[in-house]
Structure 1
Amino acid sequence: MRLYFLCLFFAMGHISSAQFLEKQKELTSFDGYFKFHYNQAKDEIYLEVDKLDTEFLYVHSLATGVGSNDIGLDRGQIGKGVVVKFEKAGNKLLLIQLNQRYRAVTDNTLEKRSVAQAFAKSVLYGFPILENKQGTYVINFTSFLLQDTHGIIDKLKQQKEGNYTLDKTKSSLSLERTKAFPKNVEFESLITYKGGVTGKNIASVVPNAKLISVIQHHSFVELPDDGYKKRVFDPRSGALSISYLDYATPVQEAIKKRYIIRHRLEKKNPEQEISEAKEPIIYYLDPGTPEPIRSALLDGAKWWNQAYEAIGFKDAFQVKMLPEDADPMDLRYNVIQWVHRSTRGWSYGASVIDPRTGEILKGHVSLGSLRIRQDFLIAQALMNQPYAMSDENYQPMLDMALARIRQLSAHEIGHTIGFAHNFAASTHGRASVMDYPHPTITLTDGKIDLSNAYDTKIGVWDKVTVAYSYSEFAKEANEKKELTSILDKAYQSGLRFISDSDARPLGGAHELAHLWDNGRSATEELEAMLKIRKIAIRNFSVDNIKSNEPYSVLEDVFVPLYFFHRYQTEATSKLIGGLNYNYAVKGDQQTVVEVVDSKKQRKALEKVLETLSPEILAIPKDKLKLFPPRAYGYQRTRESFNGKTGVGFDALSAVSTASDMSLRLLLHPERTSRLVQQKSLDKNQLGLSEMLDQLITSVFEIDVENRYHSEIQHMVKSNLLKHMMNLCITKKAYSQVNAIAYAKINKLIPILKSKTSNPIDAMYNKYYLDQIHGFIERPEKFEVLPSPKIPDGSPIGSLSCGLF
Structure 2
Amino acid sequence: MNLNTITPTKSIGKLMIIACILGGMHANSLASEIHSTSPEDGIFNFWKKKKKETKVDSTTSSKSKSDLKAYGEVITSDAHTKQGVINIHRVKKDYYFEIADSLMGRDFLLVNKISKVPSQVNELGLNKGINYQNLLIRFEADTLEEKIWVKTYHPYYEGKEGDAITQSVKDNYIPSVREAFELACVGKDSTSYVFKVNKVFDGSEKSLNDLFGVLGMPGSAIKSLSKISAAKSFPENVIMKSLLTTKAEGITVSIEVTSNIVLLAEEPMKPRFADRRIGYFTTKHFYYKDDQQAVENREFVNRWRLEPKKEDVEKYLAGELVEPKKQIVYYIDPSTPPQWRQAIKDGITDWQAAFEQAGFKNAIIAKDAPVDDPDFDGDDVRFSMITYAASSQANAMGPSVVDPRSGEIIEADVIWWHNVMTALHSWIRIQTGSIDPKARDNKFTDEHMAHAIRFVSSHEIGHTLGLMHNMGASYAFPVDSLRSKTFTKRMGGTAPSIMDYARFNYVAQPNDGVKNITPQIGVYDKYAIAWAYRWIDKNTPWDELQVLGNMIRKHENDPLYHYGPQQSGKNTIDPSAQSEDLGDNSMKAGRYGLKNLKRIVPEVEKWTYEEGVSYEKAGKMMMGVIGQWFTYANHVIANIGGIYLDQPVYGENKAAYAHVEKAKQKDAVQYIIDEVVKNPEWITNAEIYKKTYPIRESVIGNIEYAPTTLFRDLNSQLFFSILKDERLQRMLQNEAMNGKKAYSVTEMMKDLHNGVFAKTIKRQKLDVFTRQMQKNFVDNLIITHNKTMVKTTKKTLHDNHNHCGCGHHNRMPMLCDYAVKSKDMFDNGSEVEDMESKYADRNIFYATSGRVSDVVSVKRGELMRIRDLLRNRVTIYDEATKFHYQDLLLRIEEALNIHR
Name the CA distance, whole Å, in 1 between partners of 2:98 and 2:154: 25
1:256 Cα deviation from its structure 2 partner = 1.4
Name the CA distance, whole Å, in 2 between partners of 1:213 and 1:339: 17
Instruction: Sort the Cα spacing of 1:543 and 1:283 in 2 relative to 1 into closer, same or farther, 3 A.
Output: closer
For residues 245-272 of structure 1, give each alpha carbon's deviation from its aligned partner in whole angstroms, at most 9, with x where no partner exists: 2223631575213221211112232322
Name the CA distance, whole Å, in 2 between partners of 1:419 and 1:22: 49
Name the CA distance, whole Å, in 2 between partners of 1:611 and 1:249: 62
Q: Which residue of 1 aligns with 2:635?
A: 571
1:283 Cα deviation from its structure 2 partner = 1.6
Q: Which residue of 1 aligns with 2:195?
A: 139
Q: Which residue of 2 aligns with 1:231?
A: 272
Query: Which residue, out of 296, 305, 311, partners 1:255?
Result: 296
Q: Which residue of 2 aligns with 1:773?
A: 893
Instruction: Sort the Cα spacing of 1:624 and 1:367 in 2 relative to 1 into closer, same or farther, 3 A.
Output: same
For residues 263-307 of structure 1, give each alpha carbon's deviation from its aligned partner in whole angstroms, at most 9, with x where no partner exists: 111223232222122222112222211133222211111111010
Where do residues 732-743 of structure 1 align in structure 2 (5 Å cutoff)?
733=847, 734-735=850-851, 736-743=854-861
Query: Which residue, out of 404, 424, 438, partners 1:375?
Result: 424
SS in 2 for 1:540: helix
Query: Which residue, out of 489, 492, 495, partners 2:557?
Result: 492
Query: Which residue, out of 569, 572, 581, partners 1:508?
Result: 572
Instruction: Sort the Cα spacing of 1:730 and 1:394 in 2 relative to 1 into closer, same or farther, 3 A.
Output: closer
Where do residues 607-646 of structure 1 align in structure 2 (5 Å cutoff)?
607-612=671-676, 613-615=678-680, 618-627=683-692, 643=705
1:72 Cα deviation from its structure 2 partner = 5.1
Q: Which residue of 2 aligns with 1:647?
A: none
Would you say the 8 A contact 1:37–1:46 is kept in 2? yes
Name the CA distance, whole Å, in 2 between partners of 1:590 and 1:569: 29
Residue ranges of structure 1 left out of the alignment (5+ in a row)? 198-209, 644-649, 780-804
Q: Does residue 280 in structure 1 map to residue 327 in structure 2?
A: yes
Query: Which residue, out of 453, 461, 466, partners 1:413?
Result: 461
Where do residues 624-773 of structure 1 align in structure 2 (5 Å cutoff)?
624-627=689-692, 643=705, 650-684=706-740, 685-702=742-759, 710-731=767-788, 733=847, 734-735=850-851, 736-753=854-871, 754=873, 755-773=875-893
Name the CA distance, whole Å, in 1 between partners of 2:363 and 2:694: 56
Q: Does residue 168 in structure 1 map to residue 214 in structure 2?
A: no
1:756 Cα deviation from its structure 2 partner = 1.9
Name the CA distance, whole Å, in 2 between partners of 1:608 and 1:400: 35
Would you say the 8 A contact 1:191–1:216 is kept in 2? yes
Would you say the 8 A contact 1:618–1:709 is kept in 2? no
Would you say the 8 A contact 2:225–2:245 is kept in 1? yes
1:126 Cα deviation from its structure 2 partner = 0.8
1:47 Cα deviation from its structure 2 partner = 4.0
- Which amino acid is 1:623 matched to? I
Would you say the 8 A contact 1:652–1:712 is kept in 2? yes
Q: Does residue 98 in structure 1 map to residue 153 in structure 2?
A: yes
1:155 Cα deviation from its structure 2 partner = 5.0
- Which amino acid is 1:600 matched to? K
Name the CA distance, whole Å, in 2 between partners of 1:23 and 1:474: 49
Q: Which residue of 2 aligns with 1:153?
A: 212
Query: Which residue, out of 332, 348, 352, partners 1:301?
Result: 348
Would you say the 8 A contact 2:430–2:597 is kept in 1? no
Q: Which residue of 2 aligns with 1:552?
A: 616
Query: Which residue, out of 245, 248, 268, partners 1:195?
Result: 248
Query: Which residue, out of 404, 419, 423, partners 2:452?
Result: 404
Would you say the 8 A contact 1:186–1:217 is kept in 2? yes
Query: Which residue, out of 85, 89, 94, partners 1:37?
Result: 89
Task: Tell me whether 678-687 or 696-705 shows the greater mean CA deviation.
Answer: 696-705
- Which amino acid is 1:341 matched to? S
Q: Greater RCO between the two (CA within 8 Å, min separation 6)?
A: 2
Q: How many residues align?
A: 743
Q: Does residue 518 in structure 1 map to residue 571 in structure 2?
A: no
Would you say the 8 A contact 2:159–2:169 is kept in 1? yes
1:636 Cα deviation from its structure 2 partner = 6.8
1:528 Cα deviation from its structure 2 partner = 0.8
Name the CA distance, whole Å, in 2 between partners of 1:747 and 1:706: 16
Name the CA distance, whole Å, in 2 between partners of 1:301 and 1:556: 32
Would you say the 8 A contact 2:97–2:196 is kept in 1? yes
Name the CA distance, whole Å, in 2 between partners of 1:332 and 1:476: 28
Would you say the 8 A contact 2:71–2:186 is kept in 1? no
Task: Tell me whether 115-124 or 429-438 shows the greater mean CA deviation.
Answer: 115-124
Name the CA distance, whole Å, in 1 between partners of 2:209 and 2:672: 45
Name the CA distance, whole Å, in 1 between partners of 2:440 and 2:298: 58
SS in 2 for 1:472: coil
For residues 364-404 of structure 1, give each alpha carbon's deviation from its aligned partner in whole angstroms, at most 9, with x where no partner exists: 2222322221121344456879999x999556576554333
Q: Which residue of 2 aligns with 1:349?
A: 398
SS in 2 for 1:186: strand
Name the CA distance, whole Å, in 2 between partners of 1:757 and 1:37: 91
Instruction: Sort the Cα spacing of 1:747 and 1:105 in 2 relative to 1 into closer, same or farther, 3 A.
Output: same
Runs of 4+ aligned structure 1 residues displaced above 6 Å come to 3-13, 382-388, 475-478, 704-709
RMSD over aligned CA atoms reads 3.5
TM-score calculated relative to the size of structure 2:
0.76
Name the CA distance, whole Å, in 1 between partners of 2:631 and 2:893: 36
Instruction: Sort the Cα spacing of 1:563 and 1:450 in 2 relative to 1 into closer, same or farther, 3 A.
Output: farther
Would you say the 8 A contact 1:188–1:215 is kept in 2? yes
Would you say the 8 A contact 1:274–1:313 is kept in 2? yes
- Which amino acid is 1:195 matched to? A
Instruction: Sort the Cα spacing of 1:182 and 1:607 in 2 relative to 1 into closer, same or farther, 3 A.
Output: same
Query: Which residue, out of 237, 240, 262, partners 1:184?
Result: 237
Where do residues 69-108 of structure 1 align in structure 2 (5 Å cutoff)?
71=124, 73-89=126-142, 90-107=145-162
Name the CA distance, whole Å, in 2 between partners of 1:385 and 1:509: 32
Would you say the 8 A contact 1:641–1:654 is kept in 2? no
1:75 Cα deviation from its structure 2 partner = 1.7
Would you say the 8 A contact 1:385–1:540 is kept in 2? no
Q: Which residue of 2 aligns with 1:62?
A: 114
Where do residues 2-17 of structure 1 align in structure 2 (5 Å cutoff)?
14=66, 17=69
Instruction: Sort the Cα spacing of 1:602 and 1:481 in 2 relative to 1 into closer, same or farther, 3 A.
Output: same
1:444 Cα deviation from its structure 2 partner = 4.5
SS in 2 for 1:564: helix
Would you say the 8 A contact 1:404–1:454 is kept in 2? yes
SS in 2 for 1:61: strand
1:663 Cα deviation from its structure 2 partner = 1.6
Q: Which residue of 2 aligns with 1:472?
A: 535
Would you say the 8 A contact 1:730–1:738 is kept in 2? no
Q: Which residue of 2 aligns with 1:587?
A: 651
For residues 630-653 of structure 1, give each alpha carbon's deviation from its aligned partner in whole angstroms, at most 9, with x where no partner exists: 9xxx9876795664xxxxxx1201
Q: Which residue of 2 aligns with 1:245?
A: 286
SS in 2 for 1:765: helix
TM-score calculated relative to the size of structure 1:
0.85
Would you say the 8 A contact 1:351–1:363 is kept in 2? yes
Query: Which residue, out of 484, 509, 525, partners 1:462?
Result: 525
Name the CA distance, whole Å, in 1 between partners of 2:585 and 2:430: 25
Name the CA distance, whole Å, in 2 between partners of 1:11 and 1:651: 78
Name the CA distance, whole Å, in 2 between partners of 1:505 and 1:82: 32
For residues 165-198 of structure 1, give each alpha carbon's deviation from its aligned partner in whole angstroms, at most 9, with x where no partner exists: 32110101011xx31111111111111111216x
Would you say the 8 A contact 1:20–1:130 is kept in 2? no
Q: Which residue of 1 aligns with 2:831?
A: none
Name the CA distance, whole Å, in 1 between partners of 2:785 and 2:448: 46
SS in 2 for 1:689: helix
- Which amino acid is 2:232 matched to? K
Q: Which residue of 2 aligns with 1:540?
A: 604
Identity %: 21
For residues 87-126 of structure 1, give each alpha carbon's deviation from its aligned partner in whole angstroms, at most 9, with x where no partner exists: 2231211100123232324256x75443232124221111
Instruction: Sort the Cα spacing of 1:384 and 1:42 in 2 relative to 1 into closer, same or farther, 3 A.
Output: closer
Query: Which residue, out of 311, 314, 335, partners 1:271?
Result: 314
Name the CA distance, whole Å, in 2 between partners of 1:385 and 1:438: 15
Instruction: Sort the Cα spacing of 1:677 and 1:7 in 2 relative to 1 into closer, same or farther, 3 A.
Output: closer
